[in-house]
Amino acid sequence: MLSDAVADMMRAEEVAAARRRRRQERRDAIERLDCWLLEVESMLERDRHTVPEELLGEIGDFVGQIDPKLRHSLMRNDTREAAAVLDVLFEAQEIVLPRAAAS
């Protein structure tokens, strides 16, 4: 009887820990998107219209996990145009924010 109660408490703690991890992952995703949005917007403000290849790769890997179509859209941008990168980031944000709010 006591061992069943202990097992139930341990399972409840595992479920709660998993929920906290998922919540933190969603927060991290939002923060990461916000950071990239600010970075690309500031590039445009400084009249730099081409996103560095390394940054584009990071963003592509990330948005590909959210929706592979976003990665495809991003990688079609051969000139690495900052405005097009912003569009993809905003689309990713539209997907991530409702998921985070639902939790």
**Which pTM does this prediction carry?**
0.82
Long-range contacts of 33-37 (CB under 8 A, 24+ apart): 33/62, 33/89, 33/92, 33/93, 33/96, 36/89, 37/86, 37/89, 37/90, 37/93
Q: What percent of the chain has pLDDT over 90?
A: 78
Quick one: pLDDT at residue 103? 66
Mean pLDDT of the chain: 92
pLDDT in tens, the chain (103 residues): 788 888 889 999 999 999 999 888 989 999 999 999 999 999 999 999 999 999 999 999 999 999 999 999 999 999 999 999 999 999 999 999 887 777 6
